[in-house]
Amino acid sequence: MSDGMQMTPMDVDPIDDGPKSMPPAPSSPLNQRELTVLKEEDARQAIDMLRGEDVAGRVSAANKIEGIAVALGHERTREELLPFLADGIDDEDEVLVSIASSLGKLVEHVGGCDHAEKLLMPLELLLTVEENTVRDAACASTKVVADSLPSYVFETRYASLLEDLANKEWFTARISAATLLPSAYARLTRSQQTSHLQNFESLCKDETPMVRRVAAQQLGHILKAVLKAKGRMCFTPDGEVSKTIIPLYEFLATTEQPDSVRLQTTENCVAFGQVLSEVGPNWTE
């Protein structure tokens, strides 16, 4: 390289990983301390973008949340990043979708299964948002987090979260409850299974058609979950399928229901047929 040639500084934000004005000059490898400083600086810039007024910038930063968590480490992610995200729930839907999707990727970055319940705090808020794309992303991440929870946390903190959602005044929370209950059913205690199936029954009969529609969508899934947890006994005259699920199917299929609710029974027919074929012809015995 000639003596007259000079390097120009990087002309883009480092966290965007964008093009550089020219290749970097050869340098000695960075030591671990220098790498840590660079990562923390990237994280700080991304957090500043999350605070900024530019929506596109906030979306971009929200998509980098996993990288921010890596830079901050387990403890700071739990104690600083998650509360910060929870405080920013009142944001544009595009930003919230990115945040909701990212939270499901953070289990290992908060310290693994033993600390995964910390992720439920911001997710619980996102599960009540009015925009359905945000709730859908939050539900998907919540299922990932729930799968990682130890049994004692699942049966206490997570079961309590589902109970709260199912009984909240906001219909958006009840929609999320209807979506999450089937996947949780098998890991609940026996008494919790009874109470949460009652909650699901209430959601199927909810006064808000949008809640009934989502509950109707999930009816086949709750049927499969009950069969997995209880076996053929759930098909006896006093079993959950006979006493609760089949009557719910009949209720949701009536002509008195709006089309948006009643049309879900087509998919449920398929699910019911699959379950009955697995159980066999003598399913009531």
**How confident is the model over 161-186, as pLDDT tens digits?**
999 999 999 999 999 999 999 999 99
**How confident is the model over 11-49, as pLDDT tens digits?**
334 344 444 444 444 444 444 444 444 477 777 888 888
User: Mean pLDDT in the chain?
Assistant: 85
Residue 192 pLDDT > 90: yes
At 28, list the tokens: 């000695």
Contact 102, 60 (CB under 8 A): no
**How confident is the model over 100-116, as pLDDT tens digits?**
999 999 999 999 999 99
Lowest mean pLDDT among 20-24, 87-91, 214-218: 20-24
Q: What is the mean pLDDT of residues 211-238?
A: 92
**How confident is the model over 241-260, as pLDDT tens digits?**
999 999 999 999 888 889 88
pTM as predicted: 0.82
The pLDDT of residue 26: 42
The fraction of the chain above a pLDDT of 70, given in percent, is 84
Residue 140 burial (C-beta neighbours within 10 Å; 0-12, 13-18, 19+)? middle
Band of pLDDT at residue 272, cut at 50, 70 and 90: confident
Residue 150 pLDDT > 90: yes
Lowest mean pLDDT among 144-148, 190-194, 248-252: 248-252
In 3D space, the residue among 220, 121, 222 whose CA is nearest the CA of residue 164 turns out to be: 121
The residue that leads in pLDDT, 237 or 138, is 138
The residue that leads in pLDDT, 67 or 274, is 67
